[in-house]
Amino acid sequence: MTISDPRRAIEAVWRIESARIIAGLARMVHDVGLAEELAQDALVIALEQWPTSGVPDNPGAWLMLTAKHRAIDLLRRRTRYEQKLEVVGRDMEIRQESAEAELDDALDDHIGDDVLRLLFTACHPALSTEGRLALTLRLLGGLTTGEIARAFLVPEPTVGQRIHRAKRTLADKRVRIEMPAPAELADRLSSVLEVVYLIFNEGYSATAGDDWMRPSLCEEALRLGRVLAALMPEEAEVHGLVALMEIQASRIRTRTGPGGEPVLLLDQDRRLWDRLLIRRGLDALERVEALGTFGPYGLQAAIAACHARALSAEDTDWERMAALYRVLAHVAPSPVVELNRAVAVGMAYGPARGLEIVDGLVEERALRDYPQLPAVRGDLLEKLGRLDEAREDFERAAALTRNERERTLFLARATGTPHQR
Amino acid sequence: MRYMIILKATSQPATPPATELMEAIAKLGEEATRAGVMLDNAGLAPSAQGARVELVGGKVSVTDGPFAEAKELVSYALYQVRSKEEAVEWTSRFLKVHRDHWAGWEGEADVLRVFGPEDFAAPE
């Protein structure tokens, strides 16, 4: 029998507990950077002590208590010089005495609130998008700088700088670690959801041969989404985003072929879709429905669910999907949404109706270099038997795409390879 | 990475489990759900209520439970975590809850990795 490496066991505990520890410390010291340092101190002590003393029975509580003691020491030292902190210090002493009692309540209500405050702070609009992504993965995901760098295909010092800059910005702008005011909540929440979905899409865009850290970003984003859904169960868009990610993740295995080439959704082997993730996604979508409001994420999830519910491509409820795209185009208008609507309309009501919508988009500046526009148009023209025009569009799509495998796919269709469907 | 954890009882005390155990299990499950790592879990009824289907020598046969093994499967859980050690840590917490709330109970849990998309990735 072999016992697992203590170092790896400690890292596992850290992964599980770090967000809660950092979040709790941030409430005590009012500084995200300092909170993280104190938490790291506790980790270092664990790495020194546990290999010889053994892993404590409740390692999470041990780390939390050790980190709290560090924070209390620090605050006391400050108190000697700063009279005004005396009150805080006394508060700390009382907390220290009750710390033991608190251990069993590691799950008590304010821990969830602490994590939520930390997440809103890491996704604060004062920070750059890159800074938000890195800080969220670091503070809420427990990822190391090196892991984040590998996931985003950038050098480690770059990520280190992004995190450093983000922490300094929070300190310079005196961003308080607190929940946004009710009037700001909707905007601030969409900033959080955007960060989570950007992390997911970064992982989703990973290609064969990439470092495994990249696709694992999908799992990390899903985990963050699930955490958020547990902490803000009344927010429909949180469940909408979780539903969308669960359903999209259910197709990760089938979206590329054996040679790494992309496989279109309708050509995927649905028997290999992950039924557990689909079920979880549909459950999350039910929660959106129960809350009664559909935002852009909820609508996209409802659209994704039309595919997930269909056991074969022929079973897809295209009418429902076309209607959902119509609502989405109203809630979050964009030429890409309109293009997707054209596909659904083409499937539901015939290629001529789809083509009408696409032709209305040809002048759209935002889609000028978008390969999917001629690709969709080519597909509709082909179905209408206008093969010469279709070929021109597929050639245009092939010229526009920067993805080598997609180019091969478009060129194959341009040369008239009959498309199975 | 996804792990399936299958819990087996090797020694069950005559006394029924205290409500505190059920409460502690529910609390731990909630904690794992809040941490975003618990995908699915359920308890398993005694094998007396199940059956075993076997293929031996080209013949499929069915035997009703209970099964003769000393170990009864008790429950399963599916976790999505970042390492085997993380799955082991959650499993250890689950067993410690039994230790703390049901004296005399003994058991073991197998922590098994579930194949995922990473195992079917295209060779590059």
**Could you state, in order of their start, the residue ranges of all structural domains in chain A?**
1-107, 110-223, 233-316, 329-421
Q: What is the pLDDT of residue A88?
A: 57
Q: What residues of B are in contact with residue A219 (Cβ under 8 Å)?
A: 1, 80, 82
Q: What residues of A are in contact with residue B123 (Cβ under 8 Å)?
A: 208
Q: Are A222 and A204 in contact (CB under 8 A)?
A: no
pLDDT tens, residue by residue, A31-41: 999 999 999 99
Residues 6 or more apart whose CB falls under 8 angstroms from that of A93 comprise A72
Q: How far apart are CA B90 and CA B86, in angstroms?
A: 6
Range name among A3-17, B21-35, B54-68 with the lowest pLDDT average: A3-17
DSSP annotation of A383 reads H
Between A59, A223, A252, which is nearest B36 by CB? A223
Between B40, B89, B117, which is nearest A9 by CB? B89
Domains (range + CATH), chain B: 2-120 (3.30.70.1060)
- Burial bucket for residue A356 (CB in 10 Å: 0-12, 13-18, 19+): middle
Three-class SS state of B16 = coil
Q: Are A141 and A216 in contact (CB under 8 A)?
A: no
Which of A16, A238, A282 to substitute to test the interface with B, most B CBs within 10 Å? Answer: A16
Sign of CA dihedral B12, B13, B16, B17: negative
Length of chain B: 124
- Is the CB of residue A1 less than 8 Å away from at least one CB of chain B? no
- Give the helix/strand (H/E) hosting A67: helix A59-81
Q: What residues of A are in contact with residue B124 (Cβ under 8 Å)?
A: 208-209, 260
Which of A64, A219, A251, A277 to substitute to test the interface with B, most B CBs within 10 Å? Answer: A219
Q: What is the pLDDT of residue B119?
A: 79
Q: What residues of A are in contact with residue B27 (Cβ under 8 Å)?
A: 107
pLDDT tens, residue by residue, A377-407: 999 999 999 999 999 999 999 999 887 878 8
DSSP annotation of B56 reads E
Return the ∠ at Cα A53 (arms to A49 and A59), rounded to 5°.
Answer: 75
- Is the CB of residue A365 less than 8 Å away from at least one CB of chain B? no
Which of A226, A231, A405 to substitute to test the interface with B, most B CBs within 10 Å? Answer: A226
Residue A241's nearest CA partner among A253, A255, A232, A229 is A229
Q: Do A107 and B96 touch (CB under 8 A)?
A: no
- Give the helix/strand (H/E) hosting B74: strand B72-80
Return the ∠ at Cα B32 (arms to B28 and B83), rounded to 5°.
Answer: 125
Residue of B nearest to A218 (CA): B1
Q: What is the pLDDT of residue A100?
A: 40
Between B36, B39, B121, which is nearest A227 by CB? B36
pLDDT band of A148, cuts 50, 70, 90 = very high
Q: Do A16 and B121 touch (CB under 8 A)?
A: no
Residue A165 has pLDDT above 50, yes or no: yes
Q: What is the pLDDT of residue A318?
A: 97
Mean pLDDT of chain A: 88
CA distances from A302 to A144, B100, B106 (A): 35, 44, 46
DSSP annotation of A181 reads P
| CATH number of the structural domain A329-421 | 1.25.40.10
- Is the CB of residue B105 less than 8 Å away from at least one CB of chain A? no
Range name among A28-42, A69-83, B75-89, B107-121 with the lowest pLDDT average: A69-83
Q: What is the pLDDT of residue A9?
A: 86
pLDDT band of A95, cuts 50, 70, 90 = low
Nearest CA of chain A to the CA of B107: how many Å?
17
Residue A290 has pLDDT above 90, yes or no: yes
pTM attached to this predicted model = 0.89
Q: Are A144 and A127 in contact (CB under 8 A)?
A: no
Residue A74's nearest CA partner among A88, A60, A57 is A88
Q: What residues of B are in contact with residue A220 (Cβ under 8 Å)?
A: 82
Q: What residues of A are in contact with residue B90 (Cβ under 8 Å)?
A: 16
Average pLDDT over residues A5-9: 82
Complex ipTM value: 0.89
Residues 6 or more apart whose CB falls under 8 angstroms from that of A385 comprise none
Q: What is the pLDDT of residue B5?
A: 97
Residue A112 has pLDDT above 50, yes or no: yes
Which amino acid, one-letter code, is at A27? R
Number of inter-chain CB pairs under 8 A, A vs B: 78
